Amino acid sequence: MMNFYKKHSEKLIGYTFITPAVLIISLFGVFPVFFGMYMSVHKWKVFKGRFLGFENYERILGSISAFWFFVIGLLFLILSYWVWSEFKDKFKNKLYVLISSVLILIIGIYLININWGIMISEGDDDYLYSLIYTLYYSLFTIIFEVGLGLVIAFALYQKLAGKQFFQMILLFPYITPAVMGAAVFFLIFGKAETSFLNQFVGLFGIEPQLWLFDKRPITEVLFGVKIDGLFAGPSLALTSSIFYGIWSYTGYYAIILLAGLSIIPSDLYEAAKVEGASRWQTFVKITIPLLMPIIFFLMLTGFINTFQAFNSIFVMQTSSAGDTMDVVTIEIFDHFWGRVKYGYAAAEGVILFVLLNVLAISQYVIFRKRINYD
């Protein structure tokens, strides 16, 4: 026994230290996922009801097979990009690689289009459209949060007076309680002509807008063109809530990116300056590649967080906006709390879980060759 302990003492000590964390993660992280899957196959209203099999999924998706073909279509899109990025430099004739990736892309788009149509016509269109609204919210917030955060971080990286003060100010939106911040934004984006934002845009000769009370797509508001479908964009109401998301997380992202900038060796910048590289060339060729692991982390966690956004959107919801602000978490909450359909809500959560995993795979495939941890 003593010999065994001496031989494996370091491992035993390590396991002892991680055991509490493993228990906590298992109890509050892993167990709820599997319990949610268990609930999703039952008619669950406060107490467990009869076993339904995949009936909840059929009601939500219309056709379970159509959903999986839809997921396969998404994976084909990822595969198309992977084939092109992986083999374009390994073959002298890139035409074959291009044709292969395009064919895979066409198959993926076909599967997505056909099966999405089946799900919309036969399934719960409220939930399915909420996925589109969530996609709008997620894409716009993440792109602007990371983009603006990178610009702000690069600006603060320069020798500026009072840099620490600005860093502190940047964290204020992030640490502000979501409900309080959303309530303030609800007043700022009010529909009255005397609201703060309407008075501000009035200075530029822009007519007062309904903002959070307007369900028109942003393309119609900006260009006066009515477009149906995915390319219509988010409603003005959802766009207004997107501004809150950008405001609340951009400063946090800037601080994380600034920390990444601080560990980039200054010798690289000095060498680039000696070689005559411009500030833009230095930013693109040195800063962005070396920050890519951090950008990948922020993009991945950001997409997951925005797909789970709830508090701020729930506070800023208005009846005038219709269902255009009903992102997927709002829809799940409505079935769970408003309609007391726990099993149905759990099934919606499982579907979201699957889609988030596909999203994580796609981001890894896109960023994997750009990430350098050395």
What is residue 4's predicted lDDT score, i.e. its pLDDT? 60
Which run of H or of E encompasses 80? Answer: helix 64-87
Angle, helices 125-157/288-307, rounded to nearest 10 degrees: 150
What is residue 254's predicted lDDT score, i.e. its pLDDT? 92
What is residue 6's predicted lDDT score, i.e. its pLDDT? 63
Question: Coil, helix or strand for 49?
Answer: strand
DSSP conformation class of 90: T
DSSP conformation class of 264: S
Identify the segments of the chain with pLDDT beneath 50: none
What is residue 127's predicted lDDT score, i.e. its pLDDT? 95
Q: In whole angstroms, how far apart are CA 285 and each of 88, 269, 293, 298?
A: 21, 10, 15, 20
125-374 maps to CATH 1.10.3720.10? yes
What is residue 162's predicted lDDT score, i.e. its pLDDT? 72
Q: Please, are residues 312 and 22 in contact by the beta-carbon 8 Å criterion?
A: no
Q: In whole angstroms, how far apart are CA 358 and each of 4, 64, 75, 202, 230?
A: 44, 17, 7, 44, 19
What is residue 7's predicted lDDT score, i.e. its pLDDT? 64
